[in-house]
Structure 1
Amino acid sequence: MGRKRQNNHNLPPRMHVKAGRYYHVSSTLPRKWTPLGDDLNEARRKWADLESEPVGTADKSFSVVARRYMRDVLPTLSRQTQRDYTQYLVPLEAVFGEVAIDSIRPVDVAEYLRIRGERSKVRANRERALFSTIFNHARAWGYTDITNPCSGIKGFKEKPRDRYVSDDEYAAVWACAHPTVQDAMDLALCTGQRPADVLKIVVTDISDGKLAVTQNKTGKKLRIAIEGDLADVMARIMSKQRNDLNPALLQDPNGERLTYFALRSRFDKAREVAGVSFQFRDLRAKAATDTEDLAHAQRLLGHKNRSTTEIYTRERRGELVRPLRRAAGDTKPMK
């Protein structure tokens, strides 16, 4: 019979902790110390496997898997995605938090969608997508081997955003905006890039008369020729007093990088003063639509498929069609 524990009474038999890490210690001689990691839930799950014991519900709950996802996977994603996923996880935790990951059924996901969709169908879809992602990681990490309960559960149909920003609306907000927002707006419009990609541009991205961009969302790499309006915008930005130790192209007056939150706050204030309701992200669609050249728009936005660009531009302003052209010499009056 083994000795009675003097401490760490919460640990199962033959599990020990040393320097903040957990180990399984064999009962045979010589003792074999098997590392189990520094996470208690994960360590108990591995211990159960070594001891051929069932895994406790507390060690395979949705919260346990979600916490591992947020620790190991989330930091590899873009900052905006990190912010979004952190928000989406709150209601998911409230509903599924203490539930064993392998006991969540498709009907549970469907019921979550139905109830959550009463308040926001779009958020319900986003939260379902995050749940599905976390569950797939749970399968890969060995917490469960059952089919993803999101499989076959359709989300709500979403209407594509179709807001087109007119030149007058753009000018109205621009006139009321902080100089840093004016620079960001012009840069976004000229390049057709997403807000996060505009904000991360650094001076070293400028080379040989071109602006190099690697899109956060897709990893697509572009080189945009610095000419025309873009050349004027870049010259205006670079002519301002700058902190040369900070490589960011868009800087606050104090020389710090222009942050997403500062841009959002100042842009919202300018919209309110101007009495215009478009979002900063709509400038990407305006850039694509205003080119009036689908192939050019596709390259500028970095879309892989032409059909994506077609939908993106047509939904904003409407498809351009030709009017009826009557045959020469036809004098019959129009009814």
Structure 2
Amino acid sequence: MKKHRERDGLLPRMEARKRKEGFTYRYHPIGKKPINLGQDRLVAIRKVLDLLGAGDDVGTIARLWEQFQETPGWQRYSQYTRNDYKQCSGPLLQIFGDTRAADIDATHVSKYLRVERAAAPVRANREAALLSNLIGLAIDRGEAKHNPCREVRRNEEQPRTEAPDPEDFQAFAVWVASLGGQKAVIGMAAEYAALAGNRKVEFLDLAWPQIDEAAGEIRVKRAKQRGKKRGEVIEHIEITPALTELIARLRAARKDDCLYVFSNRYATHYTPAGFKTEWSKLMSKALELKKIGRRFTFHDLRAYYVTRHKAERGALPDLHANPATTARVYDRTKIVKRRGM
């Protein structure tokens, strides 16, 4: 299929003629008289694409998704965000893939959020964010006029309020360590998250040169930074006695001088999807064998770290540019002490 470059929202050989109110559009075929296209720019573009035999999927969400991945904005996203959007595209394209962006209205978006994706309301919000980006691209390309996603309230997201119980987590860590092999590596990754507070995306590819035991610190790039700070904030994490003991166990489990600290069976680092699968299997088995009292997510380990840090060191750790975000999302302290008068 031929690709057509747009110029100021119009296709090549299209003309916009100023009127008292708005514009009227024409198309100039080579060697033929101009073709009147009317006053609606979107309809005019579709007519030209139909004339050229390229209009069947113009402005559809499926085609916009392909085009979105070729934009400069896509290149600026972190690999984590790109992977997340790719996961979001699956269910989104099942419903809207063949639909033109211009034909989607607020009722369609609302139905998607409340009915078609009712079983996964939080994930549906992420998918709606992607849909909004795709319709925004359609507007830039002259293939839609407004973005209905901005008119629809997102599903309410209830933040998790519980951190793993320390005794539960320790029991889980001891049990997983006893299993050995790759399961033990997953368990040690969980211990690292609980002790250092990093996100998975920040340490799944952690390499041994980033661990400087002589200086007593681990150096990790902070994820989810925006603007000029993207990729520039380096965290220096203190190597505590507990981390020293964990690093020793990780060195003992190292295979063939592998570069990565948390290596998989192929002597490379885990992908987020691969790690998620293995973690889910371990958590289900731990519940089945009653090794833990209740399920917790891997992301809860970040809250576990924050809550312990506050209790033992008297302050929240520096995890975000805005400390209020750390307090709101990760501090799950149940007891608050204050002085009386």
Q: TM-score range by the shorter chain?
A: 0.7 to 0.9
Structure 2 match to 1:224: 237
2:3 paired residue number? 42
- State the SS of the aligned residue for 2:4: helix
Query: Are 1:55 and 2:45 counterparts?
Result: yes
AA of the residue aligned to 1:268: S
Corresponding residue to 1:291 among 300, 303, 309: 309
In 2 relative to 1, CA 260–155 (structure 1 residues): closer, same or farther, beyond 3 Å? closer
- Could you tell me which residue of structure 1 aligns to residue 94 of structure 2? 94
The Cα of 1:264 is off from its aligned counterpart by 3.1
1:136-190 deviations in Å (ceiling 9; x for gaps)? 23334x2446332222321111100223101111122212322202321121111
Could you give the per-residue CA deviations for residues 81-124 of structure 1, whole angstroms, max 9, x where no partner exists? 44432332233223332333233333332333332353332232
Query: Does structure 2 conserve the Cα–Cα contact (< 8 Å) formed by 1:181 and 1:267?
Result: yes
Question: Relative to structure 1, is the Cα distance of residues 223 and 138 closer, same or farther in structure 2, using a 3 angstrom cutoff?
Answer: farther
SS at match of 1:42: coil
Please give the secondary structure, in 2, of the residue aligned with 1:211: strand
Moved more, 269-278 or 42-51: 42-51
Query: Which residue does 1:308 correspond to in 2?
Result: 325
Matching residue of 1:68: 67
For 1:66 and 1:41, how far apart are their aligned partners in 2?
Answer: 17
Measured in 2, the distance between the counterparts of 1:112 and 1:241 equals 47
Asked whether the equivalents of residues 189 and 287 of structure 1 are also in contact (C-alpha less than 8 Å), the reply is: yes
Distance (whole Å) between structure 2 residues aligned to residue 144 and residue 210 of structure 1:
52
Distance 2:266 2:145 in 1: 54
Question: Offset at 1:74?
Answer: 5.3
- 1:17-28 counterparts in 2 under 5 A? none
Retained in 2: the 8 A contact 1:44–1:59?
no
Task: For residue 318 of structure 1, report the CA deviation from its aligned partner.
Answer: 2.5
> Which residue of structure 2 aligns with residue 34 of structure 1?
none
Q: SS where residue 219 of structure 2 aligns?
A: strand
Q: What is the CA–CA distance in structure 2 between the aligned matches of 1:261 and 1:108, rounded to whole Å?
A: 30
Structure whose alpha-carbon radius of gyration is higher = 1
Kept in 2, the 8 Å contact 1:41–1:64? The answer is no
Contact (CA 8 Å) 2:194, 2:301: kept in 1 or not? yes
1:1-335 superposed matches below 5 A? 40=1, 42-43=3-4, 49-52=11-14, 53=27, 54-56=44-46, 57=55, 58-72=57-71, 77-140=77-140, 142-144=141-143, 146-177=145-176, 178-207=183-212, 208-218=215-225, 219=230, 220-244=233-257, 246-252=258-264, 255-275=267-287, 276=292, 277-292=295-310, 296-299=315-318, 302-314=319-331, 316-322=332-338
3-state SS in 1 of match to 2:150: coil
Q: TM-score, normalised by structure 2?
A: 0.71
TM-score, length basis structure 1: 0.72
Distance 1:79 1:153 in 2: 28
C-alpha RMSD over aligned residues: 3.0
Following TM superposition, by how much is the alpha carbon of 1:45 offset from its aligned partner in structure 2, in angstroms? 6.1
Equivalents in 1 of 2:149, 2:266: separation in Å?
48
Counterpart-to-counterpart distance in 2, 1:117 and 1:266: 25
1:12-40 deviation digits (Å, cap 9, x = unpaired)? xxxxxxxxxxxxxxxxxxxxxxxxxxxx3
Gaps of 5+ in 1: 1-39, 328-335
* Equivalent residue letter for 1:303: H
> 2:34 corresponds to which residue?
none
Distance 2:136 2:157 in 1: 24
Counterpart of 2:222 in structure 1: which amino acid? Q
2:19 matched residue in structure 1: none
Give the total of aligned pairs.
Answer: 281
Partner of 1:19: none
For 1:197-220, what per-residue CA distance to the aligned partner results, in whole angstroms no more than 9, with x for missing partners? 121211222343321111332344
Q: Distance in 2 between matches of 1:44 and 1:61?
A: 17
Task: Provide the residue aligned with 2:22 in structure 1.
Answer: none
8 Å CA contact retained: 1:176, 1:270: no
Contact 1:101 1:143 in 2 (8 A): no
Of 160-169 and 66-75, the range deviating more from structure 2: 66-75
CA contact (8 A) 1:116 1:124 kept: no
Q: Read off the aligned partner of 1:273 and give its amino acid letter.
A: K
Q: Any conservation in 1 of the 2:202–2:222 contact (CA below 8 Å)?
A: yes
SS at match of 2:45: coil
Mean Cα displacement is larger for which, 186-195 or 169-178? Answer: 169-178
